[in-house]
Chain A
Amino acid sequence: TQLLEQSPQFLSIQEGENLTVYCNSSSVFSSLQWYRQEPGEGPVLLVTVVTGGEVKKLKRLTFQFGDARKDSSLHITAAQTGDTGLYLCAGPLMYSGGGADGLTFGKGTHLIIQP
């Protein structure tokens, strides 16, 4: 079973603060993706990390893939109210034939940035 444990599940902070969201698993993933979902909309891809130890930056967002490819983190610097949303980490579902079809998601982090 490929489970992704995400923490924290809920986070409410003031604008301008920094935060980190964690995504952990006991399984090795070939890649991990981070999505952001706003109410009434579908998830939107933020980043895909593929290589162990990889760090990717997207403006104020920094994504890291663990060396062993079992964990990832999302760090937001100087959070803004527009960052409010549900952040989801996701990895490919592996099947017995070795193929990767579809995604398994972590439980998500509900992030609220207060003005």
Chain B
Amino acid sequence: DTEVTQTPKHLVMGMTNKKSLKCEQHMGHRAMYWYKQKAKKPPELMFVYSYEKLSINESVPSRFSPECPNSSLLNLHLHALQPEDSALYLCASSQDLGGTRPQHFGDGTRLSIL
């Protein structure tokens, strides 16, 4: 069982819908991440939060809006997505920032845009 919990596991939405992905960890980690992974490809970094503040936005379109309500929760709000946004969205956490810190990944939300 993963220590990073993501909900929902699967999500199908239309291009005009608004939905949110949720991520939760109770390891006391202060850095949290969103990655996007297309089929047969590696994860690609989208956002980094450190101590609940947005640290990095990897030029992600504004139809993706991250939010970190507290140190345990990370949300990704979705609006007006395109079919090419269909992918596995992975949340990860680490103790803090720093390249040697292991990242703990959730099992992802598989998103399909109709």
Binding site for B on A (CB under 8 A): 29-31, 33, 35, 40-45, 48, 50, 88, 91-95, 99-108, 110
By a CB distance below 8 angstroms, the chain B residues around A48 are: 100, 102
Say yes or no: B50 contacts A101, CB within 8 Å: yes
**The residue from B31, B48, B105 contacting A43, defined by CB atoms under 8 A apart:** B105
| Closest partner residue, chain A, to B99 (CB atom) | A92
**B69 contacts A by Cβ under 8 Å:** no
By a CB distance below 8 angstroms, the chain A residues around B66 are: none
A31, A33, A42, A92, most chain B CB atoms within 10 A: A42
A101/B56 contact (C-beta < 8 A), A42-B92, A93-B45, A110-B40 known? yes
| Bound CA–CA A104/B45 (angstroms) | 7
**B61 contacts A by Cβ under 8 Å:** no
By a CB distance below 8 angstroms, the chain A residues around B56 are: 93, 95, 101-102
A107/B41 contact (C-beta < 8 A), A99-B97, A102-B56 known? yes
| Closest partner residue, chain A, to B90 (CB atom) | A42
Rounded to whole Å, the gap between the CB of A1 and the closest CB of chain B is 13
Say yes or no: B48 contacts A40, CB within 8 Å: no
Known A42-B107, A110-B40; 17 more pairs at CB < 8 Å? A41-B107, A42-B106, A43-B90, A44-B105, A45-B102, A45-B103, A48-B102, A92-B99, A92-B100, A93-B56, A94-B99, A101-B48, A102-B45, A102-B58, A103-B43, A104-B45, A108-B41
B43, B103, B107, most chain A CB atoms within 10 A: B43
